[in-house]
Structure 1
Amino acid sequence: MPHMNLSRRTTIAATDVLEEAWYQSDVTAFLMELGPAVYTQVRSEPVSKKNRLSDLKRFVNLNPGMQIDGESIESLLVERAARSIPPEPEHSWSKARQLTPLMATFLRVLELDGFTVSDGVLRRVLPSDIGLPETESDLMRLLAVHGLGVAKGHLIQAIDAHARGNWAGANGQIRTFLDALLDGLAERVDPDAAALPTGQSRRAKLAASGFLSRPLNEWSDDGKGFVNGLVKRLHPEGPHPGLSDEDDSTFRLHTVLLTSTLLLRRYDKGPV
């Protein structure tokens, strides 16, 4: 398996799946495969399976990126969890596969890292160079550095709602996050923007200052720029969008993560 950049929430979700799917003997066999550096740090039977895997979670958290036979311990955990996911039905008319709540959560957070599971095998759903986990981490860092706490709070809620499969809730928080981010950036780029109503007028201020690029079609006064279109795409039904599905909500989240990181990195570098 090629190098995978996995978020902490995904390795935790993977361990939860293993706890649900495995017997004690499976846990012991896996720990033996990981080697004595790991095996000796996890309590042995008769300690419960739950507590043993909690020990493993703690160990992975304290030793991120640890290599075992050329593969990270996080990757090994996630690959084993993927094997526990039932395959998709062979025919469209077949009964849908049955996923437990923990399996469904694992698949959702895994997708945020750019992967999906097909017949028990991990597959990329996005080019590896996009680096979604690093993008999300850098975005959170920049939000904190520049005091954009309200926007950060909405982003955290959006990611949490998406992980729980609450598509409508995630969509609402994604849009609110982008609104708060653009409003906050407008105030920082031009303090006079604080006197303007939130939303469209502040975005226009970002364009007037040159922060949103007209030559790159990021903004257009006729509403045909990229940011104009992104805002419309996030709320096609106005301020109270209807229910969404997983693919649509994931598209919204990924697009906003990448766009917001680009804008915040631009602001962080300061005027050119």
Structure 2
Amino acid sequence: MVSRKTLIAALSLLEGRTHAEIGKFSLIHSVENETLGSSKADRINNLTRYLISNKLEEREAQDLTFDIVKDLIEDELELIERMNGWEVTTFKDKHPKLFNYLIKDGFIVDGISLRRKLPQDFSPVINENEVDRLLIKYQMNTLKVHLDQALDNFHDSKWESSNAQLRSFLEGLFNEIADKLDPIESAKIQSDNGKRDLLGRTNPPILFSDLNEIYNDGKNFINGVFKRIHRRGSHPGLSDLNDCTFRIHLVYLVAAEVLRRFDHAMENRR
């Protein structure tokens, strides 16, 4: 699955093509009716709107979007390889944001090929979309800001800034869920750990001690997650692309599951 930001950035590669080349590309992918327009910008925007709309079945849309992005990326990789005879550069150097978008979405740039790290049904974008949907549903606006800033910093290769926003997001998520599920008891608790422990006592519980998610003298899964995403020392430069990508995927994985449980609990209260 390709995220919206990755799709928009990849389609911007069409800006360097002629109208005739855009027309040929659209014919290859059977989207010629979706790339109409008097300017290249209009044609690209119309195609973008079509791919992110609900006009296609979900799997069909995912497959078409991936095929289009894959062709664009691989054409650009081939162009860069040919140009390296005159000026040595890499896709990452030429398109740093797009490269980071692809890595976050679970893709690998391998030579002149774009590959998935995982099967499509396990795409990190699935958790990303689910977290965004539920944050909006429950109006967790401050948390959404932290997460958006984490992604923006990641795309700009600001690893430490991204990591800091991820920590703020995850800490705030557990606190806000505790406040919403049991506001009276949560108001009596000052510490983050205390609010997380409260989520093991709510009805229904959001965290489960029998799954070693909480309690056990602090030697539990959730505390392990926080230790993993905590900064490694006080100096910048200790994180990198792979480390930050792992943190983002881990935070989204945990947040998606916790928010799904929270959503189920709230729906059952109606």
Q: Distance in 1 between matches of 2:163 and 2:44?
A: 33
Q: Deviations over 1:38-94 (max 9, x none)?
A: 2474236xx4x4454334334434466479x998431232012221344899xxxxx
- Paired with 1:70 and 1:178, the residues of 2 have a C-alpha distance of 31
Instruction: Give, in angstroms, the shift of residue 146 of structure 1.
Output: 2.2
Q: Give, in angstroms, the shift of residue 180 of structure 1.
A: 0.6
Aligned-partner residue type, residue 266 of structure 1: R
| Counterpart among 53, 67, 71 of residue 76 in structure 1 | 67
Distance in 2, Cα, partners of 1:60 & 1:40? 9
Report the counterpart of residue 92 of structure 1 in structure 2: none
Sort the Cα spacing of 1:53 and 1:180 in 2 relative to 1 into closer, same or farther, 3 A.
Answer: same
Matches of 1:6 and 1:64, distance apart in 2: 17
Instruction: Report the Cα distance in structure 1 between the residues aligned to 2:215 and 2:129, rounded to whole angstroms.
Output: 30
Q: Which of 32, 38, 43 is the aligned partner of 2:32?
A: 38
Q: State the identity as a percent.
A: 30
Change (3 A) 1:102 1:262: farther
CA contact (8 A) 2:51 2:61 kept: no
Mapped contact 2:37–2:43 kept (Cα < 8 A): yes
Paired residue secondary structure (1:79): helix
Which stretch shows the higher mean deviation, 173-182 or 214-223? 214-223
Q: How does 1:74-223 map to 2 (within 5 A)?
A: 74-86=65-77, 97-99=89-91, 103-191=95-183, 192-209=185-202, 210-223=205-218
In structure 2, the gaps of 5 or more residues are: 82-86
Q: Per the alignment, in what secondary structure is the counterpart of residue 108 of structure 2?
A: strand
Distance 2:68 2:180 in 1: 43
Bigger helix share: 2
- Letter paired with 2:259: L
**How many residues align structurally?**
256
Q: CA deviation at 1:203?
A: 1.7
Q: State the distance in 1 between where 2:29 and 2:206 align.
A: 50
C-alpha separation in 2, matches of 1:179 and 1:270: 20
- Which residue of structure 2 lines up, in the alignment, with residue 260 of structure 1? 255
Q: Deviations over 1:116-146 (max 9, x none)?
A: 2223322121343323222211111111222
Aligned partners of 2:163 and 2:231 also within 8 Å:
no
CA distance in 2, matches of 1:145, 1:25: 44
Once residues 32 and 107 of structure 1 are traced to their aligned partners in structure 2, the CA distance between those partners, rounded to angstroms, is: 26
Alpha-carbon distance between aligned partners in 2 of 1:60 and 1:186, rounded to the nearest angstrom: 38
RMSD of aligned Cα (Å) = 3.1
Aligned to 2:84: none
What is the distance in 1 between the residues matched to 2:7 and 2:264? 32
Change (3 A) 1:144 1:255: same
Please name the residue that 1:234 is paired with.
229
Letter in 2 for 1:270: A
| Aligned residues of 1:10 and 1:106 also touching (Cα < 8 A) | yes
